[in-house]
Amino acid sequence: MKKIKILILLIILPIIISAQDMRQNAFQSLFSDYKASRIGDAVTILVVESSQASNQASKRTDNESDVGFNLSGTMDGEPMLPKMDFDVGSRDNFEGSGVTRSQGMVKTKLSARIDSVLANGDLRIIGSRKITINGEEQMIQIKGIVRTGDIKHDNSVYSYNISDMEIVFEGKGDIEDAQSPGFLSKIFHWIF
């Protein structure tokens, strides 16, 4: 009997020692794939951003003023008083209009990692990608905060589900150099 108790104790003791805390696995399902939720986990961001804005303004003003003064007099056919005319006129016209339109579209897929977990369980993510083609360098950086519920089963999240999101596109190379103003233009813009 004593040997059976020792044998049971030897079997149960390693199980008790290696037991896991249930809170550690509370957010993971037994029936689904692993979902990114810890620092360092990878998340795929599906950037689908479209923006369109337009503004139109028009203004027209008219201002007109007239002042007139007329004095004349005659006596027995002869004018005794000189004839006086006094006219003042003013006219002011202004017409202005303006139209502003802006439109942009960005579509890309970018991997990011979880940088920190906030107190409420939201995740701060940071990611970047650098692409160089024929001497043209393009850098994409993204960061923001995402809720764990917005992360899909394949660890991807749409960009419109990321709060406080910042996307930065930067480019270097011949095309960027050709689009920037020349040295003399920069000096004239600085002076004037």
Strand arrangement of the beta sheet that strand 136-146 belongs to: 156-158, 42-75, 78-117, 123-133, 136-146, 163-172
- Looking at per-residue pLDDT, the higher value among 56 and 175 belongs to 56
Whether residue 156 has pLDDT greater than 70: yes
- Range in 19-23, 35-39, 148-152 the model is least confident about: 19-23
Stated pTM of the model = 0.51
CA atoms of 70 and 56, how far apart (whole Å): 47
List, for residues 85-141, the tens digit of each pLDDT value: 666 666 767 777 777 777 777 788 889 999 999 999 999 999 998 888 888 888 889
CA atoms of 112 and 46, how far apart (whole Å): 11
Q: Residue 162: exposed, middle, or buried by beta-carbon count in 10 A (0-12, 13-18, 19+)?
A: buried
Contact indicator for 115, 60 with CB cutoff of 8 Å = no
Tokens of 147: 């809720």
Whether residue 10 has pLDDT greater than 60: yes
Cα 70 from chain centre: 67
SS3 116: strand
> Please, how many CA atoms are within 13 Å of residue 71, restricted to the half-sphere of its CB?
6
CA atoms of 124 and 33, how far apart (whole Å): 21
- Span 50-76, mean pLDDT? 69
In the chain, DSSP assigns E strands to 42-75, 78-117, 123-133, 136-146, 156-158, 163-172
Strands 163-172 and 78-117 turn out to be unpaired
Q: List residues bridging with 129 in a β-sheet.
A: 140
Which of 139, 146, 149 is closest to 176 using CA atoms? 139
Maximal C-alpha separation, the chain:
157
Contact indicator for 95, 59 with CB cutoff of 8 Å = yes
Domain ranges of the chain: 57-98
What letter would DSSP give residue 21? P
